[in-house]
Amino acid sequence: MRRRHFLQLPAAAMAAAPQVPEKSGMKITSVRLVRTRPRRPVPSYRPAPGSWSTQGVEVANPMSIYPKYKANRALFFPDPGHLGGFTVEIATDKGIKGYGSGGPGGGAVVEGNLRKLLLGEDPFDIERLWDMMWRATMHYGRMGIAINGISGVDIALWDLIGNALNMPVYKLIGGATKDRIPAYCTGNDIEQHAEFGFKMLKLAMPHGPADGREGMRKNLALVERARKALGPDGEIMLDCWMAWTERYTLEMAEMLAPLRVYWMEECLQPHDYEGFGRLNAQIKSTRIATGEHEYTRYGFRQLLEHRSASIWQPDMHWCGGLTEMRRIAALAAAYDIPVIPHGGGQRDAVHFVMATTNSPWAELFMPAPGGPPEVYRRFEEDNQITRGPEGIYVRPSDRPGFGWEFEVV
């Protein structure tokens, strides 16, 4: 009796099977930094007095212990001309392009190191290209600007692949895992956000340990204001932006317990894995969230090993791009940890949220109050906003790639 391997297909079936080429037939011919502008410019305006987005409104930050920089984060932020975010364009010999953005300083890494690794390569070899960029920058990178550079390139490669296949990115990485995505709004213009329809708000805490008991009372008053605006069923999250200490966080958690805060975010400096672990174990009235300023799966493995957080918040433009964020999400999924990305409602990151089962919400930043009606109408259109039981919902674009709507200048 003739034996046949159980995986061997008959010749007719093999002939009928689609033949997938090993290579895309494309080569990367150009990697350059570009400036962009919206195809439909949004009217500029001066925000209404008292809006949290104005420069005179204080937000707690790591430099709050220094009076000179306490009032305004912009005073110590890097010069955008030297260490700002960037947009990279990757083009192929077939005329297909992709665009991606990365975090502060990453543009210098793209120009000075990553470009020469990418030229002549097949853009579809995205896993290998990520590994090449990681290994090439490891001796000076692993965190910070090197990973910011890799992030932007990786996002551009996914955009390029989507454009080449005429498919939105979320379809490339698994398809829709939900009909639409519940969204929360970050910012302290509470009444505007609630009136718009948000039922989930994240507040930027204005005060930290440098402000003493009076600052704690003001933080409490802000959360009370949000609870009043949202009612008993709305969700409230707090962004502490690396400004608090363990002791301060424990005391604030106790004060805020009756107000049912959903999570407290980045209470400590991002490298304090042990401190986050202690807070996560001790605080029962809310959840501890962090990861906005964490890099790659190796950093998130530290969060896991120290049980530092109940919610992870990688930023796709900083953590290593879409490729690495998918690895982070897979690691989290094995331990039933939700991944709610920082900036998850942005036009590229929302594709990740749509395609990832353990990524339930997206973060939006609403235009400040005081603008003309067109500003808010465009905000709704650009994010494909709908309304429902959880308030505001968003969806990614169904155009190819990430569906960017800008032009290169």
Q: Is the dihedral of CA 316, 321, 327, 330 positive or negative?
A: positive
Mark whether 131 and 186 lie in a shared domain. Answer: no
Supply the CATH number for residue 175's domain. 3.20.20.120
Which among 141, 166, 191 is the end of a domain?
Answer: 166
Examine residue 6 and state whether it is found in any structural domain, yes or no: no
Mark whether 142 and 270 lie in a shared domain. Answer: no
Nearest to 259 by CA among 282, 230, 280: 230
Q: What are phi and psi of 270, to 5 degrees?
A: -60, -25
Q: What are phi and psi of 248, to 5 degrees?
A: -65, -45
Examine residue 223 and state whether it is found in any structural domain, yes or no: yes
Examine residue 17 and state whether it is found in any structural domain, yes or no: no
Mark whether 205 and 104 lie in a shared domain. Answer: no
Q: Please answer whether residues 370 and 376 qualify as being in contact, where contact means their C-beta atoms are separated by less than 8 angstroms.
A: no
Which among 166, 188, 215 is the end of a domain?
Answer: 166
Determine the angle formed by the axes of helices 246-256 and 273-282, rounding to 10 degrees.
Answer: 30
pLDDT value of position 158: 98
Q: How far apart are CA 261 and CA 257, in angstroms?
A: 7
Amino acid letter for position 59: V
Give the up-direction half-sphere exposure of residue 333: CA atoms within 13 A in the CB hemisphere: 11
Mark whether 226 and 364 lie in a shared domain. Answer: yes
Neighbouring-strand partners of residue 199:
none
Mark whether 310 and 214 lie in a shared domain. Answer: yes
SS3 content of the chain, % helix, strand, coil (to 5): 40, 15, 45
Q: How many domains does the chain have?
A: 2
Number of H helices, E strands in the chain: 16, 14
- Of 207, 317, 342, 351, the catalytic one is 342
The H-assigned helical ranges of 257-367 are 273-282, 296-305, 321-333, 349-355
Q: Please answer whether residues 160 and 97 qualify as being in contact, where contact means their C-beta atoms are separated by less than 8 angstroms.
A: yes
Supply the CATH number for residue 85's domain. 3.30.390.10
pLDDT value of position 21: 57
Examine residue 15 and state whether it is found in any structural domain, yes or no: no
Examine residue 179 and state whether it is found in any structural domain, yes or no: yes
β-pairing verdict for 362-364 and 181-186: parallel
Q: How far is CA 60 from the centre of its chain?
A: 20
Question: Which single residue is written with the structure tokens 């879409």?
Answer: 322
Q: Please answer whether residues 316 and 147 qualify as being in contact, where contact means their C-beta atoms are separated by less than 8 angstroms.
A: no
Examine residue 9 and state whether it is found in any structural domain, yes or no: no
Looking at residue 173, what DSSP letter applies? T
pLDDT value of position 24: 82
Neighbouring-strand partners of residue 289:
265, 311
Question: Which secondary-structure segment (H or E) carries 5?
Answer: none
Mark whether 227 and 280 lie in a shared domain. Answer: yes
Examine residue 61 and state whether it is found in any structural domain, yes or no: yes
β-pairing verdict for 263-265 and 235-239: parallel
pLDDT value of position 23: 77
Q: Which domain holds residue 391?
A: 171-404
Whether pTM > 0.85 for this model: the answer is: yes
Nearest to 345 by CA among 391, 308, 389: 391
pLDDT value of position 13: 44
Mark whether 140 and 180 lie in a shared domain. Answer: no
Which among 166, 188, 216 is the end of a domain?
Answer: 166
Q: Please answer whether residues 352 and 359 qualify as being in contact, where contact means their C-beta atoms are separated by less than 8 angstroms.
A: yes
Mark whether 121 and 266 lie in a shared domain. Answer: no
Examine residue 12 and state whether it is found in any structural domain, yes or no: no
82 belongs to the catalytic site: no
Q: How far apart are CA 14 and CA 10, in angstroms?
A: 6
Mark whether 100 and 57 lie in a shared domain. Answer: yes
Nearest to 298 by CA among 126, 153, 141, 125: 141
Greatest C-alpha distance within the chain: 88
Mark whether 284 and 343 lie in a shared domain. Answer: yes
Mark whether 332 and 378 lie in a shared domain. Answer: yes
* Run means of pLDDT, 10 residues per run, the chain, 409 residues: 46 47 86 95 91 83 92 86 94 98 97 98 98 98 97 98 98 98 98 98 97 97 98 98 98 98 98 98 98 98 98 98 98 98 98 98 97 96 97 98 96
Mark whether 326 and 246 lie in a shared domain. Answer: yes
